Structures are given as C-alpha cells and as structure tokens.
Chains A and B, each alone.
Chain A
C-alpha cells in the first residue's frame, strides 16, 4: 500500500489540475474545424472548378475566419493576464508549440482572405461594405494569377493549424495521456472530418455533397485508425503512459470516450455515410451533426483527462 498526502493546496492545481477549462477544448475544436475548411478549400481549387456549388469555396471560406475569431476569443478568455496578450507577438520560441500556434493563427487570416478573393469566393461586397469593392477588385486581380499557389498555401497552413492543436497537448510529458505524437495527426484528421461535416451543412450541390461524404468516410476511418494506434502506443509505452490509459479504460472518462467520441462521433456517422454512398435513404444532416459533436467531445475528453491523470 502506498498513501501520498501532499500539502500542495494551490487552487486549480490541487486536488487535481483544472487549469484549462471549456475555453481550451472549444478553441481546439474550432481551430481543427477551420483547419479542415482551409484544407478542403485548397483541395477544391487544385481539382479545378468542375465542382459546382458554393459550400466549400464560398460559405466555408466565409465561415473560416469567423469561427477562428470565435476560437481566438475563447483563447483570450482563458488567459489570466489578458493585458499581456500582445506578448505572444514580441517573441518566437521554436520549442514552444503555443508560440508556433500564435504565429500560425496570425498567418492563416491573410491566407483565408486571399482564398476568398479567388473565383467562387466573394465576388463583390454588398450592403454597407461596398466601399471595399475597389480594393477587392485589385486583390482579385492579383490572386487570380496565383490560384494554385494559394491553394497549396491554404492546405499547408491549414494542416499546420490542425496538427499544432494536437501537439500543444502532446509535448507535455508531465500529463501521460497527452504524451503521444499521434495526437497531432489525430486532431488534424478529426479537424478535416469536422470541416467536411460543417461544409455538408452549408447547402452543398449534389456533386459537392457526394464528394464531401466520400472524403468524410475516409477521414472518419483515418481517425479511427489513429485512435487505435494511440491506444496501442500507450499500452506498449512506459508505465506512466500505460497507467494513464486507465482514464479511458474503466476510469472516469471511459463512457464519454467510447460512447461519445468513438460510438456517436465516429462509428454512427461512418455507418450513416456509407449508407448514403450506397444510395440507401438517409437524412443528410444527421451524420455531420454527430461528426461535429464527436469532434468537440474528443477535445473535451482529452483536455480534461490529461489534467485529471
């Protein structure tokens, strides 16, 4: 028997860590979703404009900066020294994933604006934004010459955004359940899946819908494989990693992980999407809603389990 009594009474540290609350998983989800929208946008462009419809290239591209700003607001709410927020941009620390993240977030905004200025994005501003149109015409004149390059930059910076949201957690050897480099690709693929699911809810054309569903089945299958690899990696890892798996294998996060993340967030929508692809009648909106909820649940389970263990 071993009994440990610690006199560390600091709030949010003891009896267990609760430094990152809902703001962080909510941001990680939105960051992943926006990463997914950016990568899809790039793929759509590289494949030419044969895909009619405005789900990814127009509405998805408009929502991307809006959702990212909401995510960054959550990040800001999490800071305990808010007036120092500008300090993220007076340094670049290559060893710090959060520093990478801060700069990536700054980089993706202009990329998103360039993508919006491409054909299929925003052609003209209406309403009270008409004064922007002369400037917009000039931006469009430049971007039209670099469509392929912008597509690639969109894919690269979107992937960077998606991967970093996982690496942010995985570098912390102090929190064994996070300590797996699988978390980078896992959060990216989950973000790609969330991006496709979100685009499916933006009234895609039939052709676009079919392509999104096909891609999303691949993303969900990929996410499932990465989750299995994560579990295997931890089972065969050092003692602390093996023990931390208890959290999702009998411990307090077992039901949310296997029920919400894997069952309702991956397996159910995967089954529904395969039904849809095999032309069985399936309401189109159920799978994407569960994919989005599952992606959010994945971040909540990981962020909280890491702090509990």
Chain B
C-alpha cells in the first residue's frame, strides 16, 4: 500500500520542458498531444513583474471527479498506489471525465480512449520515480509515497509554503507546489 504523490518546487523550475519531453518518450505519447505541460503565470505591473513557472499534469486527486462521473468504471483509483487510472478496455470515449476535470489534464487519444498522466505506473511499481521526476535537471520535481514520513517528499515539504491547484474544487490533489 502506498499513496503516490509529487512535490513540485516552483522556485527551482526554469520551464525547460525536459519533464514534458521525457514523458513523451517514456509513454510514447502520440504527436500533437501531451500528458504534462508547463504553465507560466506572470503577475504585477511593469516593471515590477513576477513570473511563476511550474510543470502540470493529472493531480491524481483523492476525490477525483473524473472517477465519479465515469459511467463504465474505466476511470478508477488504484487502492494500492492511489493512482487515478484508466482502464482503456472499459472506456467508451464519452468524454464525461474530460468535462469533469478542473485541470484539463485529459485528452482523447487518437485510438479513441481517454488518456492522461499515469504517474508512470510501469516505473513506479518497480520502485523507480516517474520519468519527469527522474529527468528534471533542477530537481524541481520529486516523486514519492505520501504515506511514508521518511520519504524525500516530506523533506521537501518541510518549512515551505505549500499550495495545490484549484483547492476550491475540493478534489484533494496529490501534487503539491512549493511557493
């Protein structure tokens, strides 16, 4: 039993897109689609501007609206890992999950089924970190088990201001951003 999550340090992220590219390669994402992306938020008035850069993907929410709206059970939460998964054999391509996701993390794979970040399940089940976390050259992305207090994740979280994306949606994301 584990509860996989991710910590992303917005102060370390330089927006180099290495995470995006490593995800393409690792998961063989079809051309023109992406499971992860970089967001830049610039605030203030010129010349006093402040830009925050961070990497985004499926938040693997504990209270995942994509799972509750799915009519066939194709979207499901793996109790062993906490990963929000897609069983492509059950997916009809009705796109209810895409309408439900506040993060727009899903897309329709050209093969017809809903697709999104899998937390590199094929790697993480073997004890490896996700491809994006492994590749990140500034160590801005840390992957690990939220239930393990000794994990690298908890060390990163200590003493920092932590936010999640769109907390008002009540989805309980498992990706935490360090301000």
Complex interface bits, A231-244 against B, C-beta within 8 A gives 1, otherwise 0: 00000001010000
Q: Is the CB of B33 within 8 A of A1?
A: no
- B interface size (C-beta, 8 A): 46
- With contacts A4-B41, A12-B107 known, is A173 near B169, CB below 8 A? yes
- With contacts A4-B40, A6-B37, A240-B168 known, is A80 near B95, CB below 8 A? yes
CB interface residues, B 33-74, toward A, < 8 Å: 33-34, 37-45, 56, 65, 68-74
- With contacts A19-B99, A172-B100, A174-B169 known, is A5 near B94, CB below 8 A? no
The docked-state distance in angstroms from the alpha carbon of A91 to that of B73 is 7
The docked-state distance in angstroms from the alpha carbon of A2 to that of B51 is 10
Segment of A82-90, A182-190, A268-276 in the binding face: A82-90
Q: Is the CB of B72 within 8 A of A173?
A: no
Q: Which of A10, A101, A171 has the most CB of B within 10 A?
A: A10
Q: Is the CB of A3 within 8 A of B108?
A: no
B residues within 8 Å of A by Cβ? 17, 20, 32-34, 37-45, 56, 65, 68-74, 89-96, 98-102, 104, 106-108, 111-113, 168-170
**Residues of B close to A5: CB separation below 8 A:** 39-42
- A interface size (C-beta, 8 A): 47
Q: Which of A1, A84, A175 has the most CB of B within 10 A?
A: A84
Q: Is the CB of A172 within 8 A of B95?
A: no
Distance between B152 CB and nearest chain A CB, rounded to angstroms: 26
Q: Is the CB of B99 within 8 A of A175?
A: yes
Q: Is the CB of B42 within 8 A of A85?
A: no
**Residues of A close to B94: CB separation below 8 A:** 78-79, 98
A residues within 8 Å of B by Cβ? 1-14, 17, 19-20, 78-82, 84-85, 87-88, 90-91, 93, 95-99, 101-102, 168-169, 171-175, 238, 240, 306-307
Distance between A169 CB and nearest chain B CB, rounded to angstroms: 8
Given contacts A79-B92, A84-B72, A174-B102, 14 further A-B contacts (CB under 8 A): A4-B41, A5-B41, A84-B93, A87-B72, A87-B90, A96-B68, A168-B96, A169-B99, A172-B65, A172-B69, A173-B102, A174-B65, A174-B100, A307-B99
**Residues of B close to A307: CB separation below 8 A:** 99
25 A/B residue pairs, CB under 8 Å, sorted by A: A4-B39, A4-B40, A6-B56, A7-B20, A8-B104, A9-B33, A81-B92, A81-B112, A82-B92, A84-B72, A87-B92, A88-B72, A88-B92, A90-B72, A95-B68, A95-B69, A98-B71, A98-B94, A99-B71, A99-B72, A171-B69, A172-B69, A173-B102, A174-B101, A238-B168
